[in-house]
Chain A
Amino acid sequence: MATVELRFSASPEHVRTARLVAAAVARRAGVHESVLDELRLAVGEACSRAVGLHAVHGLTSPVRVMLTEGEKSFSIEVGDDAPSGVPAPRDQSAAEAAEETDELGLAVISGLVDDVEVISDAYGGKIRMSWPTATASLS
């Protein structure tokens, strides 16, 4: 079970809230201060991507963020409800722009986070990222 679970309606204005909550929970879990900036950016990228996917697919369901404090690591999962596979775009230029930003977002995440995977679950897609906690690096 997640330590903190956040669901927010898929609108850009809530992504900042998700970033702040994730950073606060990560700090409490013992993630080193020096990586909190990166964590904040990575979770923001994942949430922005989910918000974008919900918009493209016309989904009204919320974006899910699961923050889990493990024994030696802190993990964040950002889940969307977008079906896998890209649908035929209605507006080519808008779809291309969305795709460019999406790729840039994934590039940022993979550049920042060593432990990251993009998977599909029963609902849609999910980005799972994790960081070592201070107790893990000491042991």
Chain B
Amino acid sequence: MDLSLSTRTVGDRTVVEVGGEIDVYTAPKLREQLVELVNDGNHHLVVDMERVDFLDSTGLGVLVGGLKRVRAQEGSLRLVCNQERILKIFRITGLTKVFPIHESVDEAIAATD
């Protein structure tokens, strides 16, 4: 399965809905999308990963890169994920301490730190 990406705006938040597999082949597409959004002035991102089937370290690297970019603009990057097998990758790499991870898009949109 390939990677699917769609974006929508809710208030000052931009929700990026990601589906499929994020790996060494598809991660560059996600990187391009995040870079484009930040360059276009969208500095508060919510990455919805509920429909992601697979995530590897290349994907983690892209998300960390996205976080660095929005933080440079005093923005935020929040993740939405309930899937244990995806959350496990964040835990073993210690990235649960780096990303705010929410259970729903609504919760992520409402969050203000």
Contacts and interface: CB of A to CB of B under 8 A. Distances in A.
B89 A108 contact: yes
A37 B85 contact: yes
A79 interface: no
Contacts of B24: 12, 15, 44, 47-48, 51-52
- Size category of the B interface is 10 to 19
A48 B56 contact: yes
A112 B21 CA distance: 19
Interface residues of A, number: 22
Interface stretch (B4-12, B36-44, B57-65, B73-81): B57-65
A107 interface: yes
B23 A104 contact: no
Given A41-B89, A100-B61, A101-B61, A108 B25 contact: no
Nearest to A111: B92
Given A45-B56, A108-B93, A12 B25 contact: yes
Contacts of B58: 48, 101, 105
A48 B26 CA distance: 12
Contacts of A47: 24
Contacts of B21: 16
B69 to A, nearest CB: 14
Interface in A47-67: 47-48, 51-52
Contact of B23 (A16, A37, A111, A112): A16
A101 B56 CA distance: 10
A15 B92 contact: no
A111 to B, nearest CB: 3
Interface of A: 12-13, 15-16, 37, 40-41, 44-45, 47-48, 51-52, 97, 100-101, 104-105, 107-108, 111-112
Given A45-B57, A48-B23, 16 more contacts: A13-B25, A15-B25, A40-B54, A41-B54, A44-B23, A44-B54, A48-B24, A52-B24, A100-B61, A101-B57, A104-B57, A104-B60, A105-B56, A108-B56, A108-B60, A108-B92
